[in-house]
Amino acid sequence: MSSLPDPGHVRLIAVTETRRRIRALTDQPTRLVAMAVAGLFLLLPLAAVTAGAFFAGRNPNRALVGTVVTVAPAGLWLLAAVFLGLRVLTDSSDPDNLDGYLTTVPARELFAGVATVEALGTLLYLGLPTLLAATGFAVGSGSLLALATVTVTGLAATGLGLATGLAVGFGVKNVAVRSRLVARLRVPIWTAVFLAYVWTFLSGEAESVFDPLLRTVARPPLTWLGELALAPVVGPRVPTRGLIALALTVATTGVLLAVAAALARLLWYADGVETDNGAVDDRQTQVTTGALGRVVGRQTAWVARVSTARARRAPLKLLFVAYPVFLLAPSVTEAVETGTIPASLPAVSALYAAWAGGAGFALNPLGDQGATLPVAVTTGVSGTAFVRGVVLPGVALGGGTATLLAGGLAAAGGAAPARAVLLGLAGATLGGGAPALAAGFGVLFPKYETSQVTRSREAVVPSLFAFAGYSLVLVVLAGPGLALAVPPLTGVVGDLLGVAPLVVSAAGVTVSLFLVAVGGWLSFRYAARSFERFTVE
């Protein structure tokens, strides 16, 4: 039997996976529109790359040679490696119908098909700019050979990055499925990685993070590819080092692909580790449920435990809650750059934490039950107990976080103790009212079917109507009080009314907290009555 993949099988797998990706895009018009809009914003950078390469070809100089030789190949390799590594860690390592593939074709053919699809996607992102730069440089320099050398070296660096990303990604995934420690800490690890990613870009430190990394990898023989790219224009006539680098790049790419294929096979046939989390969690949750049940009632404690367990076992469904954190970018960036806490950051942080607590646990109370919904509505659980149990985790997490962020950031920013306590109280009340408000919108606009969160992952997430309605109403109800908690605004209003700024803050917070409390109570009662009247068809 030949050890090489069957080209016909590889082509069929690649075509099938490509069709699935296209279908996934066409089935989500919103995502397709978002990608189209993002593509429009890329037109200007692509035009700038082409124009820059054209003028560089017309007027080559030593600075240009040094930049291309040292940065361009390493940059392409690094971008492709990071892009493919993240792809493998999130989507590509688990193709749809994996068991069917592995019982039909060898793992090496499946890997070759998956790698082909990933190569096509990488070329779309990095190959197109490379080709435009090569064309602009060739036209500017008047050398047709430059078109070939720049394109070949750019594709070689990109291919090396692709193979590197595949090998590293499948290697990390193998560790993840075989290590009990990593399996237990999977959610905290991903949370830490996400927060580090957000912090890197929101803090404005991306350049200081990536520049040293780029300088580290921009070394021979990788930099020799730049000499080969520019040889037709600036020499040397016989780019010996560039040709050696090209040969080494091709050979290393082949070795890394073979390593990635072996790691993919190990991953796909792995059983994975079994942890004792289940048994420990069961014992702990029984004790916790019993203690909590004595405070809030057995039915409420049971619903709260189930809601928390679902979120812990399927954190992907909570991914959408993290997106609005980017709205904190201006305030966080200002805090990092100036070393001081902006006046608006405590209020905005409290609002986000309270919103996240409601959106993460209570914005789709019926749909989150999944196949167990008929059991939930027929076991005698009262509507009040059910909604209270759904709301409780969001109150505990969102309310606690909102309180700490509001009061703690205000105190760290130099606010008076009375103002810090007032903001802490606002965070606590928002954290308690937001989940109740979310429950009503979630019952009014339920969503039972799954949505594609990533290419190969689906989850039941709240409907867009529930998401928009809850977010808008919470901001409207909480907005006046949080706005009047910002010192500059309270000073202006206080001067107009002839009262102390702290009095203005207290009055505004009191009004908003009253509105949130009333809105949350009405929403809670609506959700409870709707649950009791719900019928399974």
* pLDDT (tens digit per residue) in 177-198: 877 777 677 666 766 676 666 6
Comparing C-alpha atoms, which of 95, 104, 121, 99 is closest to residue 17?
95
Angle at 224 between CA 223 and CA 227, to 5 degrees: 110
Task: Examine the pLDDT at 222 and tell me if it is beyond 70.
Answer: yes
Residue 74 is encoded by which pair of tokens? 């390493």
Contact 519/437 with Cβ under 8 angstroms?
A: yes
**pLDDT tens-digit map of 119-159:** 888 888 888 888 888 888 888 888 888 888 888 998 999 99
Segment 463-480 shows an average pLDDT of 87
Contact 485/509 with Cβ under 8 angstroms?
A: yes
Comparing C-alpha atoms, which of 199, 532, 491 is closest to residue 385?
532
Higher pLDDT, 289 or 348: 348
| Helix, strand, coil percentages for the chain (3-state, nearest 5) | 80, 0, 15
- Asked if residue 435 has a cis previous peptide bond (ω within 30° of 0), the answer is no
What 3-state class would DSSP assign to 456?
coil
pLDDT attached to residue 278: 42
Task: Examine the pLDDT at 329 and tell me if it is beyond 90.
Answer: no
Rounded CA gap, 430 and 428, in Å? 6
The CA distances from residue 111 to 14, 74, 88, 125, 259, in Å, are 10, 26, 12, 21, 11
Q: Say what the pTM is.
A: 0.63
Comparing C-alpha atoms, which of 510, 336, 365 is closest to residue 438?
365
Rounded CA gap, 42 and 48, in Å? 10
Alpha helices by DSSP H, listed for 368-500, are 373-378, 383-394, 400-412, 417-444, 464-483, 487-497
What is the DSSP-derived secondary structure letter of residue 362? S
Instruction: Please name the residues in contact with 120: beta carbons below 8 A apart, sequence gap of 6 or more.
Output: 14, 18
**pLDDT tens-digit map of 397-421:** 888 888 888 888 888 877 778 878 8
Q: Which residues pair with 454 in a beta bridge?
A: 457
Give residue 157's Cα distance to chain centre: 27
Q: How confident is the model at residue 333 (pLDDT cuts 50, 70, 90)?
A: low
Comparing C-alpha atoms, which of 97, 91, 254 is closest to residue 170?
91
